[in-house]
Structure 1
Amino acid sequence: MIRFKFSTPDAQTLPTPSIFLFDVHRRFAAALHLFSIEDTVARGWPPQPRVLRQLFFSAWLYIPPWLRLRCYLLLGRFGAWFYGGGIEHTVQRLPFGLVLKRCIRYPSSAQNEPNALRLVERYAPDIPAPRVVDVGESNGETCLLMTHLPGQMLNDVLHLMSYAERDRFADDLANASTAAALFLFCNTLGGPVIDHRIPDGSGGPFRSEAEFNAHLTSHLECLPGDIVGEENVRYDHRSCFTHSDFHCTNLLVDRGRLRGIIDWECAGFLPEYWEFTKAMYSARQHPAELEVERKLWRYTPFGV
């Protein structure tokens, strides 16, 4: 419970609000909020995309690439007018089940996200990720055209989901976290890891987990063992293909089931615990690593 303390320089002309009236307002507000949630739940999940749109998109894939490229700018303008501006003006929904993303947050790794999506499509097609339609360049910026996924952002609907739906969603997300053992810790192109969690937002590629661990505390001029104890630091984790950003805004839900995982620009090959300790969704599978990560978080704010 959050507590507030009211004070006033002049109790005669500027009296403090009545605590009793605040309590009455709190009780009414809580009840009205429950009514609002009940109405939202009663409306149910939004309808699935129409068959006509799906058929149009299938035909769209057969259009020659050069013609699609010429349509992107026009579709982007229409999408901004029809759907509204996109996220941070970098992601814009387009007609016909398409999404256009300008890869400008991490210019040095602009090809990482499309390559990650191609890896998912080829080796893990059951993961509900966007499919790459085309990659082009406009005014020196890499543009990624991909399919639009159904569903709503998890942070918008989590409070509406039943406990059974939450359990199913957790199972879906766990199944989507497939791993493939490799030797390096790097992005999907074999280059530096891009991640908000590590110092300066990037580093590597790393030839061993010892190098990766050392980079996590490189801004402190010490090793992880100096902070959490050498006995708590492991060097034998597998290198696994990882989305690396299971944020609520990157997980799409429909009817209580996982329907999409978006924003793959941080994807790469990282220690097997990374997906879980960073998302803190399934931490029970790596309790020791999570405890080490929590201690390191105190010394390494995201993106520092």
Structure 2
Amino acid sequence: MASQPINDTFLIRWAIHILYKMLSIRWISRILSYTRLIKYIGPGVLIILWSVCVKSTPFTLLAEASAMRFVSENTKIPVPKVYSAFEHRGRVYIIMELIDGTCLAGDWCRRTPDSRTRILNSLRGMMRQLRQIPNPSGASISNIDGGPIYDQRLPGPHQWGPFRNIADFHRELRGNFEEPVCNGEFVPDLARLIDFHKQPWPASVFTHGDLSSFNILARGDEVVGIVDWETAAWMPPYWEYTSTWHVNPYNPFWQEEVGRFLEPFPEALTAEIYRRKFSGD
């Protein structure tokens, strides 16, 4: 099922269209930036009047807005409130709440051990809530709307699937290898990867997929927001752990914390190393 727009009204479309037209005029853009009425905080992401965030990148999808609304309706995890989401001329725009907080990447290394523990305990509870949401389709691999999953870290195309089950996803992930033979030679690491993939799997679980310290916001010792849900999907139970462990080369310190708020899957982490070796990641 294709992801649907949210609160897609003529007035909102008109306002966003006028805003981007104004920003394309250099002197107007400079005035808006100087007065801080508009502020860019990243490629394709801007802040309006200190309280509203507009996200529109070449990779922004309506499924991200659907995921945030879904999490808000089914958990107590703090996520941005989605005001509107629509597609215009092949580009998606998400208008959402700007959460007042500081990303953990900015001050994690300066926090006390007690402060870190409080935050990680809070994150553990939030991830438990996420895992407790039942997948209505069982073990399928898909985005929240039943469509393809998106992840720039996956080899080849950024959008995959959807898949009927975890086995089909794993088969695609390892390049459809069914036997541990490459160029006529037995490959032990490929054999280990296939064995890992072919074990029995429980139902897929809802997964953020990009839990970098850059995407977790806090005020003091309180987690006030988890953002960037573009990779959110129904994924294998281990996926959150392995993706978070590998998520961002610019905050390697986060790898030391992953096992303190997510269930560790050491076997999956080893299998992911094998997969990356064969896919050239």
TM-based fold match above 0.5:
yes
Partner of 1:298: 277
Give secondary structure in 2 for the equivalent of 1:258: strand
Q: Does structure 1 conserve the Cα–Cα contact (< 8 Å) formed by 2:66 and 2:144?
A: yes
The residue type paired with residue 237 of structure 2 is: E
1:147-191 CA distance string (max 9 Å, x none): 001211221111121111111221222222212232211011211
Alignment of 1:89-238 (within 5 A): 90-105=44-59, 110-124=61-75, 126-177=76-127, 178-179=130-131, 180-182=133-135, 183=138, 184-200=140-156, 201-218=158-175, 221=177, 226-228=190-192, 230-233=194-197, 234-238=199-203
The separation in 2 between residues aligned to 1:95 and 1:257, in whole angstroms, is 24
Query: Structure 1 stretches of 5 or more lacking a match?
Result: 1-62
Using the TM superposition, give the Cα deviation of residue 276 of structure 1 relative to its aligned residue in structure 2, in angstroms. Answer: 1.2
Partner of 1:45: none
Of stretches 182-191 and 198-207 in structure 1, the one that deviates more from structure 2 is 198-207
The residue type paired with residue 299 of structure 1 is: F
Q: 1:71 aligns with which of 15, 20, 39?
A: 15
The separation in 2 between residues aligned to 1:251 and 1:65, in whole angstroms, is 31
Using the TM superposition, give the Cα deviation of residue 227 of structure 1 relative to its aligned residue in structure 2, in angstroms. Answer: 4.1
Q: Does structure 2 conserve the Cα–Cα contact (< 8 Å) formed by 1:80 and 1:93?
A: no
Q: Does structure 2 conserve the Cα–Cα contact (< 8 Å) formed by 1:103 and 1:144?
A: no
Partner of 2:252: none
The separation in 2 between residues aligned to 1:138 and 1:207, in whole angstroms, is 31
The separation in 1 between residues aligned to 2:214 and 2:11, in whole angstroms, is 32
The residue type paired with residue 226 of structure 1 is: L
1:100-149 CA distance string (max 9 Å, x none): 0114215xxx211111111112111x111111101234444221100001
The separation in 2 between residues aligned to 1:229 and 1:120, in whole angstroms, is 32
Q: Does structure 1 conserve the Cα–Cα contact (< 8 Å) formed by 2:196 and 2:271?
A: yes
Give secondary structure in 2 for the equivalent of 1:237: coil
Alignment of 1:254-273 (within 5 A): 254-273=219-238
1:240-296 CA distance string (max 9 Å, x none): 111111122211122133221111111110011111121121266222222222322
Distance 1:138 1:202, change over 3 A: closer
Count of aligned pairs: 234
The residue type paired with residue 266 of structure 2 is: P
Using the TM superposition, give the Cα deviation of residue 299 of structure 1 relative to its aligned residue in structure 2, in angstroms. Answer: 2.7
Q: Does structure 1 conserve the Cα–Cα contact (< 8 Å) formed by 2:151 and 2:231?
A: yes
The residue type paired with residue 142 of structure 2 is: C
The separation in 1 between residues aligned to 2:164 and 2:8, in whole angstroms, is 41
